[in-house]
Amino acid sequence: QVNFSNMLRVVEVSIDEYLEYEIIAVCREAALLALEEDIQANCIMKRHFSQALSTVTPRIPESLRRFYEDYQERSGLHAL
């Protein structure tokens, strides 16, 4: 299993505002961009991730993310 969050951190792309499924979408988009450039591509470059981030944007508003993070802290779910 691929850890997409680590993949993006390796290429120094900020993903703090993205949810897990959005990070996966960014990685897939970056892979497709690399393959469009070269069908034999065996790596994804930082430019592919940067371009993918302009296509795949966070869908959850910051206010809703904060609400769920606060709820998680208050409910003790963060300990799971």
Q: List the domain boundaries for the chain.
A: 4-79
CATH topology of domain 4-79: Helicase, Ruva Protein; domain 3 (1.10.8)
- Cβ(56)–Cβ(31) below 8 Å: no
> pTM, whole model, 2 decimals?
0.64
pLDDT digits (tens, 9 = 90+) for 10-50: 555 566 677 778 888 988 999 999 999 999 988 888 889 88
pLDDT digits (tens, 9 = 90+) for 51-74: 998 899 888 888 888 888 888 888
Angle CA(40)–CA(55)–CA(50) in degrees, nearest 5? 65
